Amino acid sequence: MDLDSAGAARRLMARLDAFAAFTDEPGKLTRLYLSPSYRAACDQFAKWAQAAGMRVRVDAVGNVRARYEGKTADAPALMIGSHIDTVRDAGRFDGNLGALAALAVVEQLAENGVRLDHAIEVVAIGDEEGVRFSAAMTGSRALAGQLSATAMQAKDGEGVTLDQALTAFGCDPARACACGAKGVAAFVELHIEQGPVLEAKGLALGVVSAINGATRMQMTVNGVAGHAGCVPMQLRRDAVAAAAEMILAIEARAKAEADLVATVGRLEVEPGAINVIPGLARFSLDVRSPGDERRRRAVGDIDAAAAAIAARRNVEMAMQPIHEAAAYVCDARIVAGFDRALTDMGLPAFHLPSGAGHDTMVMGALAPAGMLFVRCAGGISHNPAESITSEDGALALAALTRFAVDFRG
Ligand code: GLV
Ligand code: MN
Ligand code: MN
């Protein structure tokens, strides 16, 4: 079946622009999980899905789920989607492209009166980024039936728990751990690459072979605040100086091993005054690797190095886990399905691993899962400069549509 995706692709690109208006911070795109702009984005997404004749609901963790029936009621579903929460000052394609492209697949079917042997469930997922709460991938964990009750107590920067935020959003957190999806034959996600490989190869699309595992920690260093003019250097217990040494040790540990990356992306200092020796430093740690064992070993080494620095500097250090996701090798049948879609379109079936985390790595616990990447300019992502061309967007939508139509559960 050949659906002409050109019009749908133009609509998709226009919608990505319009969707970027749902933001918590005027002038930039910041759409945190369960925020007012996340609500507005969910409402808009649901309206578009309803207009395409889908049955729509918001589940107990704020995922928007929309079902397009197959030829028979209750047929197993191909679930397609991605996240609609963003990082702070984000680009407009990370996550949003995959969620809106999933909708565009169904719109093409509906506009052509096509029903498939399988249903399609489109999902706009919340909290992939893990920016608001001390948790991540809450939406996909819930879909995959992997959400733990302790996650409900994760707090945001204002001390609001996930449980409280879900209640305020109109969800029932008591049902969050039991809202796993049923009847899902497979999950697929279209996403921008967020790296430079496809661009360097001169390719618009690539099939994801595997997704790196990740560990996230909150590190806290407690020293003693004091007068910047009066405490001699040898007698200080400076939390920031200790944290700085720890951060350099983290960088050195990551550099010492191929394919391992470690990032300190957030650093807070208290009391935070020009004339006060810092008494407290808090920083985030994000460690990723294709090998789970190698990642765990690196986290252990970082813990030991930070503890040694803390002991030498007479400060206290604590490392608290926030998020852990095992590496995921994409399902061979899904990879083969995307290979076929690309080959049928006359494109090379190029495979590449993902350094970024994705909902797919969690959804793999529910059903066979896989991803298609589209080239992004300069490999830039988590940055407002993130961009893809309309031509690549059209190819990506055509490949995803072809995959969905040819899918055999
Ligand atoms: C998600 O964007 C991640 O941090 O990998
Ligand atoms: Mn993403
Ligand atoms: Mn992201």
Give the orientation angle of helix 390-406 with respect to helix 96-111, to 10 degrees: 60
Ligand 1 atom nearest 357 alpha carbon: 5
pLDDT in tens, 149-197: 999 999 999 999 999 999 999 999 999 999 999 999 999 999 999 999 9
Pocket of ligand 1 contains residue 356 by CB under 6 Å: yes
Pocket of ligand 1 contains residue 357 by CB under 6 Å: yes
Which has the closest alpha carbon to 383: 195, 203, 138?
Answer: 195
Using DSSP bridges, classify how beta strands 184-192 and 77-83 pair: parallel, antiparallel or unpaired: parallel
Confidence of residue 342 (pLDDT cuts 50, 70, 90): very high
- Average of pLDDT values for 201-205? 98
Model confidence at 2: pLDDT above 70: no
Angle at 145 between CA 144 and CA 151, to 5 degrees: 105
Confidence of residue 254 (pLDDT cuts 50, 70, 90): very high
Which structure tokens are listed for 127? Answer: 């909290």
Ligand 1 atom nearest 214 alpha carbon: 5
Distance 353 CA to ligand 1 centre (A): 14
Q: Which residues, including other chains, have CB under 8 Å from residue 283's CB and lie 6 or more apart?
A: 219, 221, 243, 246, 247, 264, 266, 267, 268
Distance 399 CA to ligand 3 centre (A): 22
Confidence of residue 334 (pLDDT cuts 50, 70, 90): very high
Ligand 1 atom nearest 286 alpha carbon: 4
Which structure tokens are listed for 392? Answer: 């690549």
Which structure tokens are listed for 76? Answer: 């197993």
Ligand nearest, relative to CA of residue 83: 2
Ligand nearest, relative to CA of residue 356: 1
Predicted pLDDT of residue 109? 97
Q: First and final CA of the chain: distance in angstroms?
A: 17
Query: Locate tokens 């899904």: which residue?
Result: 334
Distance 409 CA to ligand 1 centre (A): 29
Pocket of ligand 1 contains residue 129 by CB under 6 Å: yes
Distance 194 CA to ligand 2 centre (A): 8
- Average of pLDDT values for 277-304? 97
Which residue type is seen at 3?
L
Q: Which residues, including other chains, have CB under 8 Å from residue 51's CB and lie 6 or more apart?
A: none
What is the C-alpha separation between 212 and 260, in angstroms, rounded? 9
Distance 53 CA to ligand 1 centre (A): 32
Which structure tokens are listed for 385? Answer: 């400069």
What is the C-alpha separation between 233 and 225, in angstroms, rounded? 13
Distance 359 CA to ligand 3 centre (A): 10
338 neighbors 207 (Cβ within 8 angstroms): yes
- Average of pLDDT values for 84-108? 98
Model confidence at 3: pLDDT above 80: no
pLDDT above 70 coverage of the chain, percent: 99
Model confidence at 86: pLDDT above 80: yes
Model confidence at 384: pLDDT above 70: yes
**Residue to substitute in 85, 264, 382 for testing ligand 1 pocket (most ligand atoms within 8 angstroms of CB):** 382
Predicted pLDDT of residue 33? 98
Using DSSP bridges, classify how beta strands 280-289 and 213-222 pair: parallel, antiparallel or unpaired: antiparallel
The residue ranges of DSSP E strands in 92-199, in sequence order, are 119-125, 184-192
Ligand 1 atom nearest 128 alpha carbon: 1
- Average of pLDDT values for 365-393? 98
CB-count burial class (<10 Å; 0-12, 13-18, 19+) for 51 = exposed
pLDDT above 90 coverage of the chain, percent: 97
Predicted pLDDT of residue 6? 87
Which structure tokens are listed for 139? Answer: 């939406």
Confidence of residue 1 (pLDDT cuts 50, 70, 90): low
What is the C-alpha separation between 34 and 201, in angstroms, rounded? 38
